[in-house]
Amino acid sequence: MKTSRALPMSRSTVLAISVLGFALFVPALPSRAQEVKSRPVGFLTQTIPAGQTASFSIPFDPDVSSRPDAVRRVSAVGATYLDSEGAAWSPGAFSAPASPYAVRFTSGQASGRIFLVSSTANTASRLYLETDGFDLSSLQIESGATGASFEILPADTLATFFGANTPGDALVVQGGADARAADLVQLWAGSGWKRYYFNTLWNRWALDSDTEVDASRNNALLRPDRGIMITRRGGTPLVVAVVGRVLAVPHRAVQLGNENLQSLLATMQPGDTTLGSLALQRSDRVAGWRSSSDPAQADILSVWSGATWLSFFHNDSAGYWQRVGDWESNRDEFVIRAGVPVFVQRRASATTGVDRTIAFPAAIP
Amino acid sequence: MRRFSPLAAGIFSAAVAFAQPVELENFSAAGATGAVRPGSTWVGNVQRLADSILVGGTARDDNGWGGSSAGLDLSAMRYVTITGQRNAGNEAPFVVLELRDANLNPHVVSVSSSQFSNTSPTSVEIPLGNWAAGFNPSQVREWTIGGGTVGLLPFRMTLDQIAFAASGSASAPVITSQPVDLLVASGGGATFTVAAAGATSYRWFFGGTQISGATSATLQLSAATASSAGEYFAEVVNQNGTTPSRRALLQVVDLQGSHGIASGGPAGYNAGSSISFSATITYSGQPGTVIWRVVHPIDWQLTTQTSQVNPTSPGIGVLEWRWTALPASPVTITYTLSVPPETLGSKSITAQAQVTNGGLTGSVLAKPDPLIVSMAPRPHAADLNGDYRISLIELTRVIELYNTRNVALSRRTGAYLPDVSGEDGFAANPSATGAGKISRYHDADTSRDAQINLTELTRVIEIYNQRSGAVRTGEYRVSSGTEDGFAPGP
């Protein structure tokens, strides 16, 4: 809320706007593009018609933080932190829940991986990270004079992305007195959805199960490497427009776990792609992806089609992707639109346990 | 229960006569073309009636019923009519139909479930609109129906028929979203919106008189006044007739807010100290609630305030006073915020006055918007005699702090700490090993890490080197737009 007011279009590089306001914002975008010098800038809109639900992710990185020393090398790595000697970060600047940050590695063993900066206050040269259960020191992240390079990127919360209905920070979704009347933003929590909406009585974001005494959910994090679902209950379409930098290195997403859990992952593909192009069965993309002629044994990839999920698996006997329940057709050419996240479900026996990452194709071939 | 006569079946053939109505599903026990989708919440929750299905139990608003075909040609179709009844306990706000072609490209349409009667089956006609990008309507292979989301709310419907037609029935538009009552502050904007299926044009009315130029689904009033208050409604039109919307009431209240730095104190903030603000809210009438909301820098904290109502903090950096027992207008409050020691530069504070009445809310931004709060004018910490000039001796003192060394580390750290006994209120901190937090920072320390680094020292030297012609003056001035709050020159 505060950041988007103070730095319009520069924190998340994201606009979420009502269809009526769309034309007003578009002319501002070219000036945005002119700021980027080294990487292509992408622009993508998704329209969610009234009464429908869409899956959504941001296929771009935002600009690096405008704070000093946002592009650095790793000098040392601990279990939950990384150091960058000589950095002059303001202590705590990257650790405020209301304005979160993430780290994207751009070289080395961890290239393409993203970690959120934790709420433990950073020092001038140390960032504490949310490690997704990993010991960072076990990930072979290069350190020292030739340490891995990384960028510090602003991340979004419900309030910074969708607004908080405060002066200068208009709400762009439809709020309501309860979750049944409002637009819903749904975040996958591993085995179920967390459903958020803007409560107009409390004037803040809330979970559908919240009561007035519960804490504000304004700072609920929208992980940049994850997808979300948006249900539009307003009477007009919702246009969500995003701009950002196309990734310079292939994105590597981390799945939640290895026990059949599903993860809703952003593919970070700036254009439409296909199942055959994603090619998650390749060993250089995913360690131990399980292909099988039996979908009950295979790892599953699911895509939201508009009102339903479509599930696919890689049939190693046939040599191509097939849809669950539709075994006759080659679905290698099934199109996954830009910005559409994918659900990935790994079978327990097929995961390696150590490297739970899923590499997606390079955004820039 | 039929609303239509049985239509030409033939969904399993692509040879359906062009422009002839096409029945997709009749839900009859003997002739249904679809079935409960495996894995959906409708499994075990669908009761098959003679010519319809009853969805109940623990079914949610995912798409729980669907079917496939060998290539249905809907390319000439423009409308789909869903016949059904909304049953008690239904909380799904929409009914959503998804079509998919041979390549699984989707086309999705939806309609508010409130369009279905809760007492008898209703036929609701939905325009198919422009086909979705990539969707091939001549090769429809699959379809599903339900609430269209990931399964959140109870879905309680009796579904009777889904049929396509090339033209709409001879009916007037169906309003799917009505304009709602609004409460706005005088001078504020108001927007009414109506949504309808099958509409070709709109016109808006105020007090029974058509509003010139108001011909879209949205009516925007840019600056409401007392004379703007009253009833508004739209007429939604197509070739078959006109449907009026409900009459939405616009209430306009006099509401104003203003705020500023409280008198009697410094004209700006002092880092590490506190600053007081005063605010005034003026309103008329008898609203149910009066609210004053302040958005302040997130690291500034409330210390004291004068209102009998204690403010809450609905979010980080937000204070909210809420009066339900209305104080007399105008309402004046004073509050004080602590300012962290590391604060630099100008800060903005935004405030909003709000009233609620009968479930409606009107608000106005307080003036000025925003309130800019700058550092209180004072000499630079290096300027020991306060003459707004940096002399060589004063510069030397900063260099002294810059040269602070940690003997154990055997390197320069530039560390310092507050010390009221020091000539400038600071002292070298030779025991520090790196950055730290202290209760008060030297103005030269723009990174606020309790260390003077070379860049920061260079800034002081820059001020020291300020010249007037050929003469070095070291003059500087307070300037809110710079890294340290000062600028070289008079």
| pLDDT of A39 over the 90 cut | no
Of B244 and B15, the one with more pLDDT: B244
| pLDDT of A38 over the 60 cut | no
Q: Which residues of A touch B222 (CB under 8 A)?
A: none
Task: Indicate yes or no: CB of B176 within 8 angstroms of CB of A50.
Answer: yes
Q: pLDDT of A296-309, one tens digit each? A: 999 999 999 999 99
Q: How far is B345 from chain A (nearest CA, A)?
A: 13
Residue A327 is predicted with a pLDDT of 67
Residue A260 is predicted with a pLDDT of 63
Mean pLDDT of A340-365: 77
The interface residues of chain B toward chain A in range 364-393, judged by CB-CB distance below 8 A, are 365, 369-370
C-beta of residue A269 within 8 angstroms of C-beta of residue A357: no
| pLDDT of B275 over the 50 cut | yes
Task: Indicate yes or no: CB of A331 within 8 angstroms of CB of B104.
Answer: yes
Residues in chain A: 365
Mean pLDDT of B327-337: 93
Q: Which of B108, B195, B117 is nearest to B146 (CA)?
A: B108
C-beta of residue B434 within 8 angstroms of C-beta of residue B445: no
Q: How far is CA B117 from each of CA A86, B1, B3, rounded to the nearest angstrom?
A: 69, 13, 13
Q: Chain A within 8 Å of B409 (Cβ-Cβ)? A: no
Going by C-beta distance under 8 Å and a sequence separation of 6 or more, which residues neighbour residue B398?
B382, B442, B444, B452, B457, B460
CA-to-CA distance for A248 and A268, rounded, in angstroms?
11
CA-to-CA distance for B236 and B218, rounded, in angstroms?
12
CA-to-CA distance for A265 and A224, rounded, in angstroms?
9
Range with the poorest average pLDDT among A140-149, A197-206, A265-274, B183-192: B183-192
Q: Where do the domains of chain B lie, and which CATH numbers do they carry? A: 22-165 (2.60.120.430), 174-253 (2.60.40.10), 256-373 (2.60.40.740), 392-488 (no CATH)
> What percent of chain B stands above pLDDT 90?
59
Q: Which of A331, A333, A269 is nearest to A295 (CA)?
A: A331
Q: Which of B158, B69, B141 is nearest to B106 (CA)?
A: B141
In terms of CA atoms, which chain A residue is nearest residue B194?
A235
Range with the poorest average pLDDT among B111-120, B449-458, B479-488: B479-488
| pLDDT of A28 over the 70 cut | no
Residue that the structure tokens 């290895």 belong to: A258
| pLDDT of B152 over the 90 cut | no
Q: Where are the alpha helices (DSSP H) in A68-187?
A: 158-162
Of B394 and A134, the one with more pLDDT: B394
Residue B176 is predicted with a pLDDT of 77
C-beta of residue B250 within 8 angstroms of C-beta of residue B220: no
| pLDDT of B474 over the 90 cut | yes
A132 confidence band (pLDDT: 50, 70, 90): confident
Q: Chain A within 8 Å of B352 (Cβ-Cβ)? A: yes
How many Cβ pairs closer than 8 A exist between chain A and B?
A: 150
Residue A3 is predicted with a pLDDT of 25
Q: Chain A within 8 Å of B64 (Cβ-Cβ)? A: no
Mean pLDDT of A341-355: 71
Residue B100, phi then psi, degrees to nearest 5: -135, 145
Task: Indicate yes or no: CB of A236 within 8 angstroms of CB of B217.
Answer: yes
Mean pLDDT of A9-22: 31
Of B329 and B198, the one with more pLDDT: B329
- Greatest Cα pair distance, chain B, in angstroms, is 103
Q: How far is B165 from chain A (nearest CA, A)?
A: 22
Mean pLDDT of B64-91: 92
A365 confidence band (pLDDT: 50, 70, 90): low
C-beta of residue B414 within 8 angstroms of C-beta of residue B452: yes
A250 confidence band (pLDDT: 50, 70, 90): very high
Residue B201 is predicted with a pLDDT of 87
Task: Indicate yes or no: CB of A123 within 8 angstroms of CB of B63.
Answer: no
A16 confidence band (pLDDT: 50, 70, 90): very low
Return the CA Rg of chain B: 35
Task: For residue B339, give both structure tokens.
Answer: 């300012």
In terms of CA atoms, which chain B residue is nearest residue A310?
B104
Q: Which residues of B touch A91 (CB under 8 A)?
A: 435, 437, 448-449
Of A35 and B200, the one with more pLDDT: B200
Q: pLDDT of B291-308, one tens digit each? A: 999 999 988 999 999 988
Instruction: Determine the distance from the C-alpha atom of residue A39 to the mean position of all C-alpha atoms in its chain, rounded to a whole number.
Output: 19
Q: Which of A200, A209, A205 is nearest to A217 (CA)?
A: A205
C-beta of residue A102 within 8 angstroms of C-beta of residue A155: yes
Range with the poorest average pLDDT among A307-316, A344-353, B164-173, B305-314: A344-353
C-beta of residue A219 within 8 angstroms of C-beta of residue A159: yes
Q: pLDDT of B415-441, one tens digit each? A: 999 998 888 999 999 999 888 889 999
Residue A174, phi then psi, degrees to nearest 5: -85, 120
How do strand B274-283 and strand B331-338 relate by DSSP bridges? antiparallel
Task: Indicate yes or no: CB of B369 within 8 angstroms of CB of A307.
Answer: no
| pLDDT of A87 over the 90 cut | yes
| pLDDT of B401 over the 90 cut | yes
Q: Chain A within 8 Å of B148 (Cβ-Cβ)? A: yes
Return the CA Rg of chain A: 20
Residue A22 is predicted with a pLDDT of 26
Residue B188 is predicted with a pLDDT of 82
Range with the poorest average pLDDT among A27-36, B205-214, B308-317: A27-36
Nearest to B176 among A123, A204, A235 (CB): A235
Of B483 and B366, the one with more pLDDT: B366
Between helices B454-464 and B392-402, what is the axis angle to 10°?
180
Task: Indicate yes or no: CB of A335 within 8 angstroms of CB of B103.
Answer: yes
Going by C-beta distance under 8 Å and a sequence separation of 6 or more, which residues neighbour residue B405?
B411, B412, B413, B430
Task: Indicate yes or no: CB of B298 within 8 angstroms of CB of A2.
Answer: yes
Mean pLDDT of A24-37: 30
Residue B202 is predicted with a pLDDT of 92
pTM value is 0.61
CA-to-CA distance for B344 and B360, rounded, in angstroms?
40
Task: Indicate yes or no: CB of A2 within 8 angstroms of CB of B453.
Answer: no
Q: pLDDT of B334-381, one tens digit each? A: 999 999 998 888 888 999 999 988 778 888 889 998 899 988 989 999
| pLDDT of B131 over the 70 cut | yes
Mean pLDDT of B401-408: 92
Residue B31 is predicted with a pLDDT of 85
| pLDDT of B409 over the 90 cut | no
Task: Indicate yes or no: CB of A307 within 8 angstroms of CB of B361.
Answer: no
A46 confidence band (pLDDT: 50, 70, 90): confident
C-beta of residue B46 within 8 angstroms of C-beta of residue B64: yes
A258 confidence band (pLDDT: 50, 70, 90): low
Q: How far is CA A131 from each of CA A98, A137, A138, A187, A256, rounded to the nearest angstrom?
A: 20, 10, 11, 19, 12
Going by C-beta distance under 8 Å and a sequence separation of 6 or more, which residues neighbour residue B100?
A305, B106, B107, B140, B141, B142, B143
**Ordered DSSP codes for A245-261:** EPPSS--EEE-S-SSS-
Q: How far is B385 from chain A (nearest CA, A)?
A: 30
Q: Which residues of B touch A234 (CB under 8 A)?
A: 177
Range with the poorest average pLDDT among B27-31, B74-78, B176-180: B176-180
Mean pLDDT of B30-55: 94
The DSSP bridge partners found for residue B483 are none
CA-to-CA distance for B462 and B477, rounded, in angstroms?
13
A353 confidence band (pLDDT: 50, 70, 90): low
Task: Indicate yes or no: CB of A168 within 8 angstroms of CB of B352.
Answer: no
Q: Which residues of B touch A98 (CB under 8 A)?
A: 298, 315-317
Task: For residue B468, give both structure tokens.
Answer: 């007037």
Mean pLDDT of A176-184: 89
C-beta of residue B456 within 8 angstroms of C-beta of residue B446: yes
Of B428 and A133, the one with more pLDDT: B428
Using CA atoms of B461, B464, B466, B471 in order, give the dihedral in degrees to the nearest 10. Answer: -130
